[in-house]
Structure 1
Amino acid sequence: MAALTRKRNNESPVSMRESFVLVLASCLTVCGTAIDTITIGRPVQDNETIVSSGQTFKLGFFSPANTSNRYVGIMYNIPGTTVIWVANRDKPVKDSTGILTIAEDGDLVILNGERETIWSSNVSKSVASSSAKLLDTGNLVLTDNSDGSTMWESFQIPTDSLVPKMRLSAGAKEKLQLTSWRSPSDPSIGDFSAGFHLFRPPQFFVWENNVPCWRSGPWSGNTFIGIPGMSSAYQSRLDLVEDNSGSTYFTYNSVNNPALFYYSLNSSGCLQAKVSIGKGDWSVTWSSLESQCDIYGKCGPFGSCNRLQSPICTCLQGFKPRDEEEWNRGHWSGGCIRKELLKCERNQSSSTDAKEDGFVRLPNMKVPDFLVLVVISEEACGSSCLKNCSCTAYAYYKGIGCMHWSGNLIDVQHFSYDGADLYVRVPYSELDKKKDTKAVTAVIVVAASLFIAVSLYFCWKRWAKHKGKDQDDQVSLFEPTYNVENMVNKTGDRAKLGELPLYTYETLAKATDNFEPCNELGKGGFGQVYKGKLLDGQEIAVKRLSNTSGQGIEEFMNEVVVISKLQHRNLVRLIGCCAEREEKMLVYEYMPNKSLDFHLFDSDKPSVLDWKKRVTIVDGIGRGLLYLHRDSRLKIIHRDLKASNILLDKELRPKISDFGLARIFGGNEDQANTRRVVGTYGYIAPEYAMEGMFSEKSDVYSFGVLLLEIVTGRRNSNFYYHENELSLLGYAWKLWNEKEAVKLIDAAIFVPGIEKEVLRYVHAGLLCVQEFAKDRPDISAVLSMLNSETSNLPLPKLPAYTRRLGSSVSDSSSQRVDSINNVTVTIVEGR
């Protein structure tokens, strides 16, 4: 110890007391991860954390993205900041002087630098000694040390996240709901809440200012029947519990690792299930708002929503639009009315000979809201409804029983699978139509069956005749081959492929560790993308198209042929392809920084894209598009330009990818027409969506949407959850006209002095998204606008899809099948 107090190398002497403090601090630093309890003598300073005993959760101060405010939160103990609970969400500490400690009266409190109480657990009783422990469930529990009783726990005041063992309830004694953050940078209570409505049977809701905006459908005892695939797709088990005190609540446990799965209600009102994929990254496995049909009451009374149809809203059988003109314009909120009165509603003197009403069966339905349970058998469910003139529909579901509806049928949706059989009451005339339809259908089926049988016979004869030919020339009727060599040899496309390598399935399987999930870079409607490494050490990205993907062999070959001919620094490079064992795979150069949407729209991570980087990205995308439209020997229209199709290399340089939907134009060809409209919700030009017409101006429109998204950091396709405007375009147009466009700048990139340059980018973006294609500049003119500080830009005209601002939020989707998760969609039959 004497050595510690000896002066050496001109240093000040260190006292024994100071030495002890240093040793203690060193010990606490080394052993800090084992501390899970807060006491009067052991508070949590701003730069400290406590960690639960199983190392699953930690508690400490944090700052959300784009703000220096400090909050106390419970977080997953993994890289990054994944917050599941916030204490002082409405009153932040403004600097790093905050402290979380136990007060003299036993309360858990947050103090600022002036030792003012910012937040308190507000325990009613005063105790001599208490302590707060962070459990491995993520629950922070305040305990009276004298008797071991629980005084307070964080699970009693949920914020925006639901973790295993937590509970939500809506009983008279206890009401526990999730409440969203105000914004990704502000954890104060937002406009959205989520919880259970415990009328029998219970349903889960998301409300916006107490108005429903999403509904789960009724609880069957195992699943919510308004969520397709819940029984198989969910990684958790939900339970409805009634305890001895009379409280009723829902809780859940993860099937696999409870530490790696949780639910969160984001600031846009979307409830999401998230699973950890390692290194602090989370994958969204389910979302409450996967399409426009998930919005509560989307199609109005007696309307049914089907995400796979265009338009998505139709009237139930026996009903017609309340206002035909408004309905055809995509304003569906008014709903539908009966075409003809029911027998029991007519004047009795004129209906003595009328036939009885009946029911039409609608399979795979999300049943309407406002159901009434009737305790009767399945056999009696329908007859009981028929006897009651006010009963408009019924359904019977195992685990729930007989459900009746009276009055309007609201929030009805048709699923491709799951759901319930809904029986809707209609006049007898509608039943006759249904019977006639069945008869016609039966005749068609019989005729078609005969035709198929005859065709198969002649095909078999032809196959038998050529049986002795070489095996490569045989084509199996029932086992089609997708071998690339066979395809290109038969179609004459071998010359188009040039020297593009054709990889075997075994090569790509070995490169990706047999497509190991941990190597998955991303996924979408097309399938999955995996990181891999070839035997020579080259890193690759393998796009493995799903058999259920809308991108078939035509799109696969299109991308192979198109991109193999293109060489530009802002286009992703196709290395090779594979089509064996009914697999279709494309091999690209590996992009270590993922896609642009990952960095723009992921509110859980601090943005690495400052304004200078975003300018470089915009310029790179524009130059890649200019090459496609003007500078390459092939004039190519991409048709699916969006943030998720812009990949970033290790220097964050952009590269345009995914040419499965691209079209090659002839030398004198400026536009084309198609009856198969393809693209992604939020990026499709109006002339393409409405009439099937596309040109380079269609790509310019998509570029304009992308430009506004890069400036604002907000996604156009689900912007309506943030504002009352129809889209980001409508909001930008509104602020532009109010000379408030500076409000569009993403808070993550704002620094004084960039306003003028950003406003020029907004101006150019609005010129690109004008409603009529002839008014939009070409991409070379856009690049000139962005790179010139002196040019006077023309005034923009009204953007597309904004003529109907103030009406239903989904006007822009009236001609499209849309996709909240930004997956490419195909619209059958553009008009």
Structure 2
Amino acid sequence: MDNICFAFIGIHLLFSFFKFSTAVDAITQAQFISDGRGLTSKDGNFELGFFSPANSSSRFLGIWNRKIPLRTVSWIANVHKPINDSSGILMINGSANAVLLSQNTTVVWSSSSSKQSENPILQLLNSGNLVLRDGKDGNSGIFLWQSFDCPIGTVGLSARRVSLSASADVCDSYGLCGAYGVCTINELQVCKCLKGFKPVSPEKWKERDYTQGCERNKPLKCQENTGFIKYVGLKLPDNKNGWVSQGMDMKECKAKCLSNCSCIAFASSDAKGGSACTIWLSDLIDIRRLLNGGGQDLYVRVPDSELGAKNGVKVKIVVIIVAVVFTVSGLLLAAYYIRKNRKMSKEKMDIYGTTGQNNNGPEEDLELPLFKLSTIASATNNFSFNNKLGQGGFGSVYRGVLMDGQEIAVKRLSPNSGQGPNEFKNEVILIAKLQHRNLVRLLGYCIHGEEKLLIYEYMPNRSLDFYIFDQAQGKLLDWRKRFNIILGVARGLLYLHEDSRLRIIHRDLKPSNVLLDKEMNPKISDFGMARTFGGDQTEGVTRRVVGTFGYMAPEYAIDGQFSVKSDVFSFGILMLEIISGKKNRGFYHHGDNLDLVGYAWKLWEEERSQELVDECFRDSCTLLEVLRCIHVSLLCVQKLPEDRPSMSTLILMLGDEKTLPRPKKPRLFIGKHSSEADSSSIKQEISSTNELTISILDAR
């Protein structure tokens, strides 16, 4: 009984400490507010945080007076864009704006300030005013942005009642009717399911809660006959996961949709500039019927059984015609299909290196636009040397410009590259399914004979190694930019490890695989060596050790054991290189012949970690912040995987000011030989299951 009492006392003290530790009134650019945490004004009267109205699971970020017993919200950030789960994050981005992000990193609200600041601070004042100010201005009353100037986000909201629409048009609320629901403003029941669909929750539907949307009466199976139901006068649904192709007419658009098992619907439009085809590859969300005679036609794919009864006479005519055609042309059709199957088998060999490896076919797996070789050749000036951005073991990368003016980067795999057919398919499938602002975006692919091309978004500022390992270029990256790059790469890895549909291990994280956009935001690239895990699987073993020496975790380089903690190790090396401006591989301290990790460990033990900082930014950096990053990097490169932090814990460490645990001694490498007896050998007898990649062992 005494133990139980002590347990309850401990829990009470823990919660008391949590409340005390989170009672802050401001955050900096290195911090963020997640769901369950918030800001409290210094006098304790006002609070900012996430909340859900009664009888609703939607989450909003708002401000309310803590002294009023019945919670009354005075300001809401995402009044028109609720978050459907508890993954919301409030932070200050690289442009010195406060932004609210949902789980898929979509910006649902932004302060949209045009003013710049090197030290922005987001603070909740005693007046209940949320302000974004420059740290150097102190309490001068000069703000970059303030909630008092934004009445559009203000709405009276109690714990019993929600009024989230600032206009009378409820259909303006994004996703009001959920998936496959159509909103009609002049109907008594504003939301109705598309034909062939039914409400997911009829009970909530009767209560006019439509957010769960609709589901199919009968599942859509690729091998069964399907058709389309035409809807006219609609505002087309959100198409963030679909694609648009110019110059494709109605007939071609329909055929394209039917050829792709993942196609849900299509729309074809004709304009002065030519025809265009739009295809949806995921749930249809945010559909509404327009009443002014405008809108477009939408063709929704359904099983034949949902198309309704056909005219009897037409059916008989069709049956007779089909019978005659099959009788007269049977042999010709058989010959045609034999020839077509041979052609498809050859195409599969081009993609996978063997026939019949993928039963579903590349169209179902890749779900990306297939570019013609002539289009890419024209965009890159026939792969001109002047357009060449770089070259590695996999082949070359070229800059290109499409006919519509879009800049692209083309990765052209050489026939003898380390990235073979399996890696090509692996990279296309993985990146096509990944959506994150810190991951490079794949725009399409091209397969033509021996040519295999990947088309990426163009990164004008090249890769991270171009800056941090060059004294002249390194001056372009001050500490604030370097720290933002560290945080961006960390968020990208967190998405791969925990938030994407599959658990993904990159296995080749290094500076040359971190690209920088025009605003110097980092994007992780090159997923040819990545491995995917499903369910609760967290680690694997392989006989084929792929990646780059100098960034491999010791258990992976020696025994072939890899996990999310392998990527954490690589991230620790990356942090040390960003801070020091030195490469881990090939760096040996002249005094004791230690590599970069060993040198960093020695300086840390001797409390001289500041000597590791690159001279390019040593005089302008925040020393405590840099030292904290060095400390975190040493936690990442600890010898045992279980000692290393997860990416979610690591991000909290970087943004917090709590005391960090003491790191354990890493596996030290002296000169070209490990201090550990077994570190120079790589075991080859380990069994491997579900191996996806083959690669050379050197840098690409």
Q: TM-score, normalised by structure 1?
A: 0.40
Structure with bigger gyration radius = 1
Q: TM-score, normalised by structure 2?
A: 0.47
Judging by fraction of residues, say which structure has more strand: 1
